[in-house]
Amino acid sequence: MPAKKTAPKNKNTKKKKKRALVTGVTGQDGSYLAEYLIDLGYEVWGLMRRTSLEPMIRIEKLVRPERRLRIVYGNLRDGASIRQALEESQPDEIYNLAAQSDVGISFKCPDETMDINYHGLGRLIHEAIKVNPKVKIYQASTSEMFGRTNPPQNENSVFAPVSPYGEAKLLAHEDYVKGYREKKGLFICSGILFNHESPRRGEHFVTRKISISLAKVKLGIQESFALGNMDAKRDWGFAGDYVKAMHKMLQQKTPDDYVISTGVSHTVREFVEEAAKVLDMPISWSGKGFDEVGKTKDGKVVVRIAKEYYRPTEVDYLLGDSRKAAKKLGWKPEVSFKQLVRMMVTADYERLKKMKDAGLL
């Protein structure tokens, strides 16, 4: 076979790095995505809102500093700040991950949730297309938009949100993602992501709360902890896998929406059981309703139920069908439920043990 001819390389023409702006870079997904894009050769800009904490303190724990993340300040509640951030970063791709992302808190702060999660996307788009009309945008949509729709949920399922968080995300999806794609021809995609977790997960989300609390119980730092609805079912995947799907969506010829999930669902109770097994501290249940408790083999109560952690309305059962993403993006999850639980529990146990050994706890 004749040797393949390759075009001569011109040493003087250096390919321009693609620029990405990641909003929500201090969050779980933002940190994994920024690392992933930097490894792919992108120039990555992270949008951060101003707080009294030094920026490097908020970023260093998440993104290895040698990976050269560039920081711009901006708040999704403030159009002028977004404009300045966009003018400075000049992105080819924008990943909008910033949000008030706590469903429980959204019942307490519905206006703030709507302002960030819905109007925030509007502000971002309006400023972005002034700076680069051809910009590609990823919007962090959510399985919470399905609400009580029967599982398995996919791109054709009915949206029926039951929380202010879900409602705000659905409005953003319908008005700005679908609406602007159809009416203005914008390249904008919704990733309808099911729950995804990691050792970087916010400490108030149930998986991380469980991994931290059980590690503390095992180390003798805490006696017990309380949870809300343990019958809720979630399709939990690993955040590190899910950010790869976000990038893939923006590399397609045409913009579209994709469900990203594992296709396996577990109850909160099962998460507790699996996490306790990792710590070699199996848990058995007794009692019903608010009187249910989880005990260790020696009869010590370590899990209780507290009304305060129940929500006014609940999404009972999420189970995703991401066959479209598998077919069109070639995406599939790599970390299983058991591997995810082990990863989270081990990370928290080791971190807390070090602190305890150093006399800090």
Which positions are annotated as active-site residues? 142, 144, 165
Binding of residue 207 to ligand NAP (CB under 6 A)? no
Instruction: From the list ligand G4F, ligand NAP, none, pick the one residue 103 interacts with, judged by a Cβ distance below 5 to 8 Å according to partner type.
Output: ligand G4F
Binding of residue 199 to ligand NAP (CB under 6 A)? no
Q: How far is the CB of 149 from ligand G4F (least distance, A)?
A: 12
What residue is closest to ligand NAP based on CB?
Answer: 27
Instruction: From the list ligand NAP, ligand G4F, none, pick the one residue 268 interacts with, judged by a Cβ distance below 5 to 8 Å according to partner type.
Output: ligand G4F
Is the Cβ of residue 62 or residue 302 nearer to ligand NAP in the bound state?
Answer: 62
Q: How far is the CB of 354 from ligand G4F (least distance, A)?
A: 26
Is the Cβ of residue 173 or residue 244 nearer to ligand G4F in the bound state?
Answer: 173
Is the Cβ of residue 302 or residue 344 nearer to ligand NAP in the bound state?
Answer: 344
Q: What angle do CA 144, 75, 204 make, to 5 degrees?
A: 45
Interface contacts to ligand G4F, rule CB under 6 A:
101, 103-104, 142-144, 194-195, 204-206, 209, 227-229, 232, 234, 268, 309, 311, 314, 318
Is the Cβ of residue 63 or residue 283 nearer to ligand NAP in the bound state?
Answer: 63
Site for ligand NAP in 139-178 (CB under 6 A): 140, 142
